[in-house]
Amino acid sequence: MKRVMATKVGSLKEKDPAKKGKVEVMDVEAPVVGDNDVLIKVAYCSICGSDPHSIEGIFGRPAPFGMGHELSGVIVELGAKATVNGFKVGDRIAGNFLEYCGTCYYCRNGQQQYCTQAGKRMAPGMSEYAVWNENQVFKIPDSITLRTACLLEPLSIAVRVTDKANIKVGERVAIQGGGPIGLLILQMMKKRTATSLTLIEPIAARRELAKRFGADHIIDPNAQDVIAECKKITNNLGYDCIVEASGFIPAAKIPIAIAANEATLMYISMFDNNFDMPINNFDVFHQRELTFTATRVAPYSFPRAVQMIEHMDLEPFTEKSFYIDEAAEAFDCHMTGQYPKILINCNKDLADK
């Protein structure tokens, strides 16, 4: 079967072909279905912002390795013991790329994201077929297409971030970075009754989407003084919650500058592995009592993401797709930033279903 593979580690932004990372479609053996597994015929797998980072080598994986984790598809085979959730052949599903063991200390302690076995068996989503444990799979509503359903995993991140932000009704929220995750969080925060909801984003098309999704204020950091604008918007009080979703090192300290006293600062983006951010301990902790936090994947978020998917505006994220044989072109398109999301259709007979 076909699978999208990273066959060479390196940046996809690299101009020198000898150093640039490489994505190819390869033939691999069909996966084996275990007793508690389901075999998924993959419809779509969307490109995550972490995928190019993976090709760069940020996770230390040697090439070749399979790509993709934001998938949707149809169950075509059930393992002998995959009966707990009542799945049947033909069910339309999406789900969680991480398989948790459910028995280690962390799984039993409500810290599933630190499962000692998570990731030991990962089936790449950019494949014609994938085998997942039934506990990773969620049936999608009939009203949701498979094209849209591949966004369940990034939507689960927005659920998790909003959970952990724990904002009160009417609190002021800013989001730095209007990529797919930032824009999904913006929608979720709007539904959580955030006020002075502000997106900080340099790309015009993403700023336009922020308007569509309900942002109260939009700041272009290339044309405006971000800190001055944020002070103006909040009457010099600052934001009660700031989500850093850009991963842009020169802007890493802006959330501190625009934070209200006792604010929560969520650094959810993926910065360079070697980046250390200096902060003034006296000002940040003793004077202003700021709380810094982050998220590691999305434990316990998927059932509620399934509930929310019908209530989100996801059409702009599904505009552009490529067939699996065009994976290299898909990644090139992703790197341009022209579209908020790029999808890869892994089986043509499931396209647009």
Asked if residue 6 and residue 147 are part of one domain, the reply reads: yes
Whether 174 maps to a domain, the answer reads yes
Class of residue 29 by CB neighbours under 10 A (exposed 0-12, middle 13-18, buried 19+): exposed
Looking at residue 176, its pLDDT comes to 98
| Interval 271-329: pLDDT, tens | 888 899 999 999 999 999 999 999 999 999 999 999 999 999 999 999 999 999 999 99
| DSSP-derived secondary structure letter, 127 | B
Looking at residue 57, its pLDDT comes to 87
Distance in angstroms (rounded) separating the CA atoms of residues 68 and 100: 18
Looking at residue 208, its pLDDT comes to 97
Q: Which residue has the tokens 């992703």?
A: 334
Name the average pLDDT for the chain. Answer: 95
Asked if residue 182 and residue 248 are part of one domain, the reply reads: yes
Whether 308 maps to a domain, the answer reads no
Whether 244 maps to a domain, the answer reads yes
Mean pLDDT calculated for residue range 207-213: 97
pLDDT above 90 (res 353) = no
The set of residues, in sequence order, having a beta carbon less than 8 Å from that of 300 and lying 6+ positions away, is: 110, 112
| Phi and psi torsions of 167, nearest 5° | -75, 150
Least confident of 90-94, 95-99, 291-295, 349-353: 349-353
Asked if residue 162 and residue 139 are part of one domain, the reply reads: no
| Interval 41-66: pLDDT, tens | 999 999 999 999 999 988 888 999 99
Is residue 184 left, alpha or beta, with left meaning phi > 0 and alpha meaning psi from -120 to 50?
Answer: alpha
Looking at residue 272, its pLDDT comes to 83
Asked if residue 140 and residue 8 are part of one domain, the reply reads: yes
Q: What's the total number of domains in the chain?
A: 2
Contact present, 158 and 183 (Cβ < 8 Å) = no
Query: What range does the domain containing 346 cover?
Result: 2-151+314-350
End-to-end CA distance of the chain: 21
Looking at residue 269, its pLDDT comes to 92
pLDDT above 90 (res 114) = yes
- The CATH number covering residue 92 comes to 3.90.180.10
Asked if residue 326 and residue 257 are part of one domain, the reply reads: no
Whether 181 maps to a domain, the answer reads yes
Q: Which residue has the tokens 């849209």?
A: 148
Q: Which residue has the tokens 């599933």?
A: 112
Asked if residue 208 and residue 111 are part of one domain, the reply reads: no
* Three state DSSP letters for 225-283: CHHHHHHHHCCCCCEEEEEECCCCHHHCCHHHHCEEEEEEEEECCCCCCCCCCCCCHHH
- The CATH number covering residue 251 comes to 3.40.50.720
| Residue 333 C-alpha from the chain's centroid | 18
pTM equals 0.95
Q: What is the largest CA-CA distance in the chain?
A: 62
Asked if residue 80 and residue 52 are part of one domain, the reply reads: yes
The set of residues, in sequence order, having a beta carbon less than 8 Å from that of 143 and lying 6+ positions away, is: 310
Is residue 227 left, alpha or beta, with left meaning phi > 0 and alpha meaning psi from -120 to 50?
Answer: alpha
Which of 15 and 201 is assigned the larger pLDDT? Answer: 201
Asked if residue 201 and residue 135 are part of one domain, the reply reads: no
Class of residue 24 by CB neighbours under 10 A (exposed 0-12, middle 13-18, buried 19+): middle
| Residue 328 C-alpha from the chain's centroid | 20
Asked if residue 163 and residue 136 are part of one domain, the reply reads: no
Asked if residue 252 and residue 112 are part of one domain, the reply reads: no
What does the block give as tokens for 198? 């502000």
Whether 318 maps to a domain, the answer reads yes
Buried b (16+ CB within 10 A) or exposed e, 131-150: bbbbbbbbbbeeebbbbbbb
Question: From residue 163, how far is each of 59, 156, 173, 305, 308 by CA, in Å?
Answer: 26, 10, 14, 12, 13
* Cα four-point dihedral sign 299, 300, 302, 305: negative
